Amino acid sequence: VQEILQKFHDNGYPIRWAVTGSGFWVEGGTTTSFGKWGEEFPDASALKEWMHSRDIYWMIGLRTNFIPEGGPYYPETSERDRNLDVRSFIGDKLTSEAKDKGFLVLTGEGDVMNTTSDIFPIVPSNLLNGNAPGAAQWFQRQYSKWEIDGIKEDTMMDIDTLTYIYNHPISEIANQGGHVIARNGEFVSPGTLLRINDTTVDELGGRIPINYMQYAASGFPNVYSDVAGTHNMHNLADIDKNIRHAWLLSLTSGFSVGTFPDMWPEEKKEIFRGVSRFHFQIAPYMYSEALKGYQSGYPTTLTPLSIAFPDDQSAVDHSNYQWMIGESLMATPLLKNIISGTMDVYLPEGDWYHCGSGKRYEGPLTLKEFETPLDAPPCFIGGQGIIVLREADGLPLKARVYPVSRRKTSFSFNYPDGVAQTLISYQKWDNNAELVVIDQTLGAEIPFEVDAASGSISFDIEPNHNYDIVEQ
């Protein structure tokens, strides 16, 4: 774990969190062996300290099913998950404790229910009854024995009618300060991110974006797919497809990598690293929009065009998957035509600037067979025309404003602390206009930079300061 994290870190990847198991798969246990570590982690405390010194949160895969105490238990099938190679499984005495406390799901006859996953663990398991009084709090206390930073919920059970095993136990971990990547839930997403598991490059035009749109339309836009190039990074024939997969994932609320592209050509390694950097740059903007969505219920971080532009029939009918991130950033990932690198892009009414070239387009317009460069973010700036970017840790955040809004508009930005805010106001300026950026909080002009390609301007912002862009 430390070796692969160090490799990504040394190569300029801004890693912020890492998900592992507890090491008990190898030994035949499960990741509900709370507080225990396998041979892979001989000094878990030292590893956690090492991660934290590099600003990395340590998260662990966790489930709400328990193998009964005792064992070993032997699967009836020889099939195994790709990450698991054991002949038997061993239970935990905590399962008996949960049973004695009345925290397990019962059958109609009052017996503890046994359910077997066809993925993991492939022996009978008991299920945590999240609705039982005290069960969620008990589960959170067991989790806390690891003294880590959060979880990736990863229950693999075919139990569509028993979804109450997730909500309270998983959200209790989040409520107590744990970072949670949720996967299952009943009418809610009990975590920060909603995970779509094991999304492969072969699902670029299918399950991945379809799930995105379904979740967002249901009010859960903060999706996360794991991981860039899933199980395919060593396939040198699919390098470009892996990069397209990474660009798709980078335009969502969570982005992760798993395998370092050791065998790739240097120019492709640089592009892949650039995808990670792009997500790092837009993450503060994404967080700000997520907070707005939390407050309003609107899917701000991933708004399907049919929701963002309901009165634009061309937007509603457009066949390619596009979405808005906030009111300024339109995601246009290329999901097919990997070899040609072209796609039809629809731009609603207004001015839109391509994030890579800076070229301006005036909508409504369909860009037929638009060339989507492999090395440029597949997105456009329009709408309000204001985004906030993070260039590097330790530097001020930077606002970038494009001259698109024909009326005076104000953009509210929420800082990562969830408290501080900044308001940025402007109206579309003429190409030859002389501009001034005024820090209204200080009552003074501040410096700014002009992008030659797009005419956009950029300037540093500070928490609880407001800014106006005006023509002299």
User: In this predicted model, what pLDDT tens digit does every residue of 328-337 receive, in sequence order?
Assistant: 999 999 998 9
Give the per-residue pLDDT at 84: 59
Using one digit for the tens of pLDDT, what is the confidence trace for 357-400? 999 999 999 999 999 999 999 999 999 999 999 999 999 999 99
Q: What are the domain boundaries of the chain?
A: 2-296, 303-381, 391-471
DSSP state of 123: S
How does residue 192 score in pLDDT terms, banded at 50, 70 and 90?
confident
Quick check: 111 pLDDT over 70?
Answer: yes
Q: Classify 303-381 by CATH class.
A: mainly beta
DSSP state of 202: G
* Six-digit token string for 167: 């909500």
Of the candidates 342, 333, 366, 371, the residue with the CA atom closest to the CA atom of residue 352: 366
Element of type H or E holding 411: strand 409-414
Asked if 2-296 and 303-381 have one fold, the answer is: no
Q: What average pLDDT does the chain have?
A: 92
Average pLDDT over residues 190-213: 89
Q: Classify 2-296 by CATH class.
A: alpha beta
Give the per-residue pLDDT at 119: 80
Q: Identify whether 201 is preceded by a cis peptide bond (ω within 30 of 0).
A: no
Q: d(Cα 32, Cα 444) in Å, to the nearest integer?
A: 57
Cα radius of gyration (the chain): 24
Give the per-residue pLDDT at 72: 86
Higher pLDDT among residues 312 and 34, named by residue: 312
Quick check: 26 pLDDT over 60?
Answer: no
pTM here is 0.94
Backbone angles phi, psi at 446, to 5 degrees: -125, 155
The vertex-312 CA angle with 309 and 313, nearest 5°, equals 125
Using one digit for the tens of pLDDT, what is the confidence trace for 222-242? 999 989 998 899 999 999 999
Give the per-residue pLDDT at 152: 93
Average pLDDT over residues 300-328: 96
How does residue 156 score in pLDDT terms, banded at 50, 70 and 90?
confident
Q: What percent of the chain has pLDDT over 90?
A: 75
Higher pLDDT among residues 86 and 2, named by residue: 2
